[in-house]
Homo-oligomer: A and B are copies of this chain.
Amino acid sequence: MNNSKKKERQERILDAALKLFTERGYFNTTVNDIQFASKMSVGSLYNYFENKESIAVTLYSNLENCLYEALCEIEQQNVSMHDCCHEAVRHIFENTERTPSAMQYLLYTKHREFMPVEKTAFASLPFLKMKTWVEQGQAMGEIRAMDSNVAMNAIFGSAIRMVFLRIDGILEDPLTDYLEECWQCSWRGVSTDE
């Protein structure tokens, strides 16, 4: 079959699933809902994906890769670990505004409950990348010496909680409005500068 058409139909399923999973949750979304939202029959859907779980897994894997690549690019364009981390937070904030469902699914959702295979979010590639930054920053003396998990959370924890607040509809203004204020608190907490 036409390969690009195949791709297009898969995308349509994934888009519909992402929307539904984030709006109502995985368990409150039926295969029929996805089928209906993607304007496709159940039969077709099962032609493209083995089952409902496999849709969720593909979705997660795609979004995870996407974030990982963004982090790699940030890494290439910045030298100090301060800048890398800062740009990572900016990227996450901007993308939460641009594609809220994607960020919600990636950061907010409890995947383990419906993807038994999947490792915890803290063992995902993007998180590991960010952790190496923190450890490098500590080795280079930019970031105070302390347990690297603590440092990691001190730098990114409050930012991620901001994403949660935004997703839950508590923050009315776009996340990017809070970026600098939020970042300065985080960095002040771990920086070796007085």
Give A contacts to B, CB under 8 Å: 24-25, 27-28, 108-110, 112-114, 120-123, 146-147, 149-151, 153-154, 156-162, 164-165, 168-171, 178, 181-182, 184-190, 194
Contacts and interface: CB of A to CB of B under 8 A. Distances in A.
Given A170-B122, A186-B189, A25 B110 contact: yes
Contacts of A158: 150, 153-154, 157-158, 189
A175 to B, nearest CB: 11
18 contacts: A24-B113, A110-B110, A122-B165, A146-B185, A147-B178, A149-B171, A149-B178, A150-B162, A150-B178, A150-B185, A154-B186, A154-B189, A156-B161, A157-B158, A157-B159, A157-B162, A158-B189, A189-B189
**Residue among A121, A123, A168, A169 with the most chain B CB within 10 A?**
A168
Contact of A160 (B147, B161, B169): B161
Interface of A is mostly: helix
A108 to B, nearest CB: 8
Contacts of A24: 113
Contacts of A171: 149
A191 to B, nearest CB: 9
A194 B153 CA distance: 22
Contact of A110 (B109, B122, B187): B109
A184 B187 CA distance: 13
Contacts of A160: 157, 161
